[in-house]
């Protein structure tokens, strides 16, 4: 965030430009193909994780414990 309260999205250097990846870099939630330790398309895995991130931000009903 800067002095004008503008937010910026930063890449911390974990992204790679390749077709298929075999190295696990990141934090949960991970796409299923990453968790299964198989080759995966990095862009598709990022889109999956971003979708989970957006889902988690949706308003949900408040859970009251009994």
Answering whether pTM is above 0.95, one says no
- pLDDT, tens digit, 9 for 90 and up, residues 10-44: 655 555 555 555 565 656 677 888 778 778 888 88
Backbone angles phi, psi at 40, to 5 degrees: -145, 160
| Strand, helix or coil for residue 21 | strand
pLDDT range class, residue 61, cuts 50, 70, 90: confident
**CB burial of residue 26 (10 Å; 0-12, 13-18, 19+):** middle
Largest CA distance in the chain: 50
Do the beta carbons of residue 38 and residue 55 sit within 8 Å?
no
Domain coordinates of the chain in residue numbers?
18-58
């Amino acid at each position: 965030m800067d002095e004008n309260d503008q937010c910026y999205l930063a890449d911390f250097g974990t992204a790679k430009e390749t077709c298929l990846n075999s190295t696990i870099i990141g934090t949960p939630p991970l796409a299923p193909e990453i968790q299964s330790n198989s080759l995966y398309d990095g862009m598709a895995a990022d889109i999956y994780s971003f979708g989970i991130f957006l889902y988690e931000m949706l308003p949900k009903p408040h859970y009251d414990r009994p």
